[in-house]
Amino acid sequence: MNPLIKNTLSIVIPTFNEEGNIEILYSKLIETLTPLELDEFEFIFVDDGSQDRSLEIVKKLAIDDPRVKYISFSRNFGHQPALKAGLDHAQFAGVVSLDADLQHPVELIPEMIEKWKNGAEVVYTKRKDVSLPWFKRTTSKLFYRIINTLSQIKLEDGVADFRLLDQKVIHALRAYKESNLFIRGLIPALGFRQESIDYTPHKRFAGETKYSFSKMLRFALTGLTSLSAKPLYFSIYFGVFFAMLAFIYGLYAIYVFAFGHETIPGWTSIIASILLIGGIQLIMIGIIGIYLGKVFAQSKGRPNYIIAEKKTNND
């Protein structure tokens, strides 16, 4: 089969404790894809160390339908590694990635395919959020504002990992040997013909969000530090700023000494500046630590994921 013939599709689905969603997602996908008369398609469920019946359900589907493939991790590695594993194993000409919880509307896939067949090589989607919880909406806005200030690549708020990629884009992506993945930051930098579609997300069908606050925070930090090295330079700016303050304060001290009428107790200002500078130093060490940790992981060449078992076409 020639993968360049644009009539075959892989669907990649990172799955972590989604037992209540898999079957309905499967039937929705079948319902949507069947009328499109694709030559071939496959679903790759990437089970990210689920502790519920997710893998069992996927395996059952795979017995009845050979188009269902799966990759099962040895433990929970996270959404991005799961997505990467799916993309690594997807064999067809177009590859759609979407969440297992039905928040990403399956009905959008025909439109994505249409744009792809008309020449787009990346069809990404932009969430028009009305229903998102206030906290998630605000933190997400803040995150994109910071990331866009810091990095050259502009990321759009609401663009997540629901997209169609041409196999040649995935080929380019495979050359990135990053150990801390932030895939949505890499895609805009790849180039290629990119087009977008707006959509309104559905409510999560079953279960709860698998992105805990700490996972979200880690994801945000990974994203920031993977797209930009600017935070490392903060210490220089802070340093210059406070050196100037100190200089001015020094001039003032000399002035008081020369013309002063009173002795300055000074204790308060010393304690205040020690605390302030100490705090800033800790923040800076923390920032350096994040990058150092990344260099550490990368230099060890640790894999992004470990597969315990799988059934894909590349076996």
Binding mask 91-130 for ligand UDP (x = CB under 6 A): --------xxx-x---------------------------
103 binds Mg ion (CB under 5 A): yes
161 binds Mg ion (CB under 5 A): no
Closest distance to Mg ion from the beta carbon of 187 (Å): 19
- CB distance 238 to 280 below 8 Å: yes
73 binds ligand UDP (CB under 6 A): no
Q: Which is nearer to ligand UDP, 3 or 207 (CB)?
A: 207
Closest distance to ligand UDP from the beta carbon of 251 (Å): 53
Crossing angle for the helix pair 213-227 and 267-300, nearest 10 degrees? Answer: 80
78 binds ligand UDP (CB under 6 A): yes
312 binds ligand UDP (CB under 6 A): no
Site for ligand UDP in 224-283 (CB under 6 A): none
The CA distance from 246 to 237, in Å, is: 14
Closest distance to ligand UDP from the beta carbon of 249 (Å): 47
- CB distance 112 to 95 below 8 Å: no
Quick one: which of 7, 32, 76, 139 contacts ligand UDP (CB under 6 A)?
76
- CB distance 21 to 106 below 8 Å: no
Find, among 81, 101, 307, the residue nearest to 215 by Cα: 81
The CA distance from 223 to 128, in Å, is: 21
Report the partner that residue 212 touches, choosing among ligand UDP, Mg ion, none (CB closer than 5 to 8 A by kind).
none
* Binding piece for ligand UDP, criterion CB under 6 A, among 78-86, 121-129, 149-157, 259-267: 78-86
Question: Residue 185 carries which side chain, given as an amino acid letter?
Answer: G
Closest distance to ligand UDP from the beta carbon of 76 (Å): 5
101 binds Mg ion (CB under 5 A): yes
18 binds Mg ion (CB under 5 A): no
CB contact set of 73 (below 8 Å; sequence gap of 6+): 46, 47, 48, 49, 81, 82, 85, 305, 306, 307, 308
312 binds Mg ion (CB under 5 A): no
Find, among 150, 121, 128, the residue nearest to 231 by Cα: 150
The CA distance from 178 to 125, in Å, is: 24
Which residues are near ligand UDP by CB under 6 A? 14-16, 18, 48, 76, 78-79, 82, 99-101, 103, 204, 209-211
